[in-house]
Structure 1
Amino acid sequence: MTSRKTLLAGVTAFSAAALTAGMCINAASASPLAFSQMQAQAVTQANQVADSLGAANGGIYLDRGKAVVNVTDAAAQQKAEAAGFATKTVKYSFAALTNAKNTMDSVKNVPQTAWGIDTKTNQVVVKIYDAASQATKDKVTAAAAKLGDAARVEQRTGKLSTYIADGDSITNDQVICSLGFNVTKGGEPMMLTAGHCTNEGGTWSGGDVSGAEIVESDCPGADSGLLTRPNGTGEGAINTGQAITSAAEPTVGEQMEKQGQTTGGGSGEITSVDESVNFDVGVLNHEFGTTAKTDHGDSGGPAFDGEKGLGTLSGGDTQTSYFYPLTLELESYGLELA
């Protein structure tokens, strides 16, 4: 099998004005793959402009496939609009939001809570679940209050759970999870899934693969698990036939798809990035939240946008599914997509 080098999704250069105009005309009738490519183009171009704004950069987000650049002053607004982008004037720069999120990260031992950056609302969104203890609720609420309107608190029903039961994909005969991505390490074929799955130990099998050994298992902190692929076949593609040719960073507002052995396929929207999620197993860092619907057995399954791989499923609740970024997994383990 010929390996493809891992890279962030690259795009053909367009003028921003032509790109955004094209998005307005074509998004409604575009095929899923064409829409994915338009989103990728919008994100790349918008990030280039946002990065040029320095301290006035408020981050970007996607609105029905069209990139919006957040700005904190009139000069930045003029520059972004001159490049052809819609803008939104916001109170907080992206750096300020990142600092606010990092401040929340200093709050430890608070299971059943989560927080991450929502560039669409220019806030750190802090989620507190019913299952959290009263002491945890009070602790996190007090920390969020110190951030003023840079943060908003959402009360969530139910309980956060890592998905590691019922389903059918890869199994060690004790728990069942889903394969995320076929990868290679030093030319050797391997399988990427969730770390809270591989933490269960054993040898794994699924499809025409058997006797897969654990190479790496990281959870909490990260949520990555790497297995050998001693036999079996499989290109770098979702089981629907969608090829995965690159890894890309998630963007708020981005339309994405997922696949898992319990709930199958489906789609959703990315609602937060760089989220710290306090599962009962410990805090998982750098997760991204989505509106995709998932369930037990889907753990480790892929999130993707067209040919771009985005991440592997950690878990969630009835409203939000959390994924660990593929770019971090590839970098951490020195992997390439198969």
Structure 2
Amino acid sequence: AEVRRAGAGARLVRHSMDELRSAGAALRAAPRVPGTAWAVDYRTNRVTVEADSSVSAADWDRLGRVASGIGSFVRMERAPGRFTTRLNGAQPILSAGGRCSAGFNVTDGRDDFLLTAGHCGPKGSAWFASGAGDRRLGDTVAASFPGSDFSLVRYAAGRAGQGADVVAIGGGTGVRIMGAGDPVVGQRVFRSGSTSGLHDGKVTGLDATVNYPEGTVSGLIRTTVCAEPGDSGGPLFSEGIVLGVTSGGSGDCTTGGTTFFQPVPKALTALGVRLIVSAPARDTSGGGDGGGSGAASAGGVSGGGSGASGASGGAGVGSAAGGDAAGAAGAASPG
């Protein structure tokens, strides 16, 4: 009754949340097979297990036996391509490890930092805004990968700069960041990256685990949004709410594919930092000025804000979303 009064509908499902989570635990306890992934889909009351093209027939059969032993609600699927982290060694923003995209700007109250993917580079990595190495962005002061996939880059100047509350999405436009949250299966989401720009898709699973060649990462968001090398660390968001940073996946933005994201709320808690967000817009019906930094209405997109002038990268490096240091394809970070 309380569910209906709240405007939601109740549906009796065959398998409880505990059963679905236990299935994930059983899969994690099985011998590790690189190139496999699984996620919980609460809408269909299933756990989906995927194996990419690198998984042998013998490993596929072995994984199938594990899935059968768990229950009929575990579904097996083959995924095209290979599951990889989205790191590469091209420009525009890089370190010795390669190129990534910036995620979001955060602060601990003293210094400002860039939140990006952990696989982009270990603690101590130095990041630059040009291949010549003459525009230093900062250094990685904390990183977690594998296991999780997030890292923290302290800005060399100590501050992110003007427009730090905006994510650039290309074409001189940006999205004002209002807060962080957790997605739901079926939700439409957007991702921005320094290689492929802005793309959208849907959330297809939560609490996902991926066995990358470098190691296993758990607790991820599974989506249909595409991504390509260099998009790692870029922002996942919806209506101005921060959801995740790009971890890895399969496919590309020509053929499509599956992409996984590190949830931002978990990373913020682990790192002891908070998002740099826009002030709520004030009512302008009486002619007053709107709040925030002038880049976009809450959750919306607009042009022109000083912090939203970067190309197609993620959160701005050197300034909020893609301003200052992000002139070469949207802010970016590590590799």
Shorter chain as normaliser: what TM range?
0.7 to 0.9
Encode CA deviations 1:136-166: one digit per residue, 9 max, x unaligned: 3233211111122221111112211111115
| Greater fraction helix | 1
Question: For the aligned residues, what is the CA RMSD?
Answer: 2.0
Query: What does the per-residue CA deviation read over 1:221-264, in whole Å, with 9 as the maximum and x for residues that have no partner?
Result: 00011111122624121013211121111211111111000110
SS in 2 for 1:111: coil
Distance 1:169 1:309, change over 3 A: farther
Which residue identity lines up with residue 321 of structure 1 in the other structure? T
1:196 alignment partner in structure 2: 119
What TM-score do you get using the length of structure 2 for normalisation? Answer: 0.73
**Alignment: residue pair count:** 261
Task: Give distance in 1, aligned partners of 2:80 and 2:156.
Answer: 43
Using a 3 Å threshold, how does the CA distance of structure 1 residues 264 and 174 change in structure 2: closer, same or farther? same
Match of 1:252 among 179, 185, 189: 185
Contact 1:191–1:227 (CA under 8 A) maintained in structure 2 = yes
Match of 2:265 among 306, 322, 327: 327
Runs of 4+ in 1 over 4 A off after TM superposition: 166-169
Superposition pairs of residues 172-183 of structure 1, within 5 angstroms: 172-183=95-106
For 1:90, the equivalent position in structure 2 comes to 13
User: In 2 relative to 1, CA 174–80 (structure 1 residues): closer, same or farther, beyond 3 Å?
Assistant: closer
- Percent identical among aligned pairs is 33
Instruction: State whether structure 2 residue 147 is matched by structure 1 residue 221.
Output: yes
Question: Amino acid of the residue matched to residue 272 of structure 2?
Answer: G
- Mapped to 2, the partners of 1:220 and 1:285 lie a distance apart of 9
Task: Indicate conservation of the 8 Å contact 2:97/2:121, yes or no.
Answer: no
SS of 1:317's partner is: strand
Which of 146, 151, 155 matches 2:78? Answer: 155
CA distance in 2, matches of 1:201, 1:140: 38
* Unaligned ranges ≥5, structure 1: 1-77
Alpha-carbon distance between aligned partners in 2 of 1:194 and 1:302, rounded to the nearest angstrom: 10
TM-score w.r.t. length of structure 1: 0.73
CA 1:230 to 1:201, structure 2 compared with 1: closer, same or farther past 3 Å? closer
Q: Where do 5+ consecutive residues of structure 2 fail to align?
A: 252-256, 277-335
Which string of whole-angstrom CA distances, capped at 9 and with x for unpartnered residues, describes residues 71-97 of structure 1? Answer: xxxxxxx65335432343321122221
What residue is the counterpart of 2:305 in the other structure?
none
Partner of 1:256, secondary structure, is strand
Corresponding residue number in structure 2 for 1:206 = 129
Distance 1:126 1:83, change over 3 A: same
| Structure 1 Cα separation of the partners of residues 115 and 232 of structure 2 | 11
Deviation of 1:171 (Å):
0.8
Aligned partners of 1:266, 1:247: CA distance in 2, in Å?
19
Q: Which has the higher contact order (CA 8 A, sep 6+)?
A: 2
Give the structure 2 partner of residue 99 of structure 1.
22
Which residue identity is paired with 2:226? K
Relative to structure 1, is the Cα distance of residues 129 and 303 closer, same or farther in structure 2, using a 3 angstrom cutoff?
same
CA contact (8 A) 2:94 2:128 kept: yes
Pairs within 5 Å for 1:1-338: 80-165=3-88, 168-199=91-122, 202-206=125-129, 210-231=136-157, 233=161, 234-239=163-168, 240-318=173-251, 319-338=257-276
SS at match of 1:252: coil
Q: Report the CA distance shift for 1:317/1:215 in structure 2 as closer, same or farther (over 3 A).
A: same
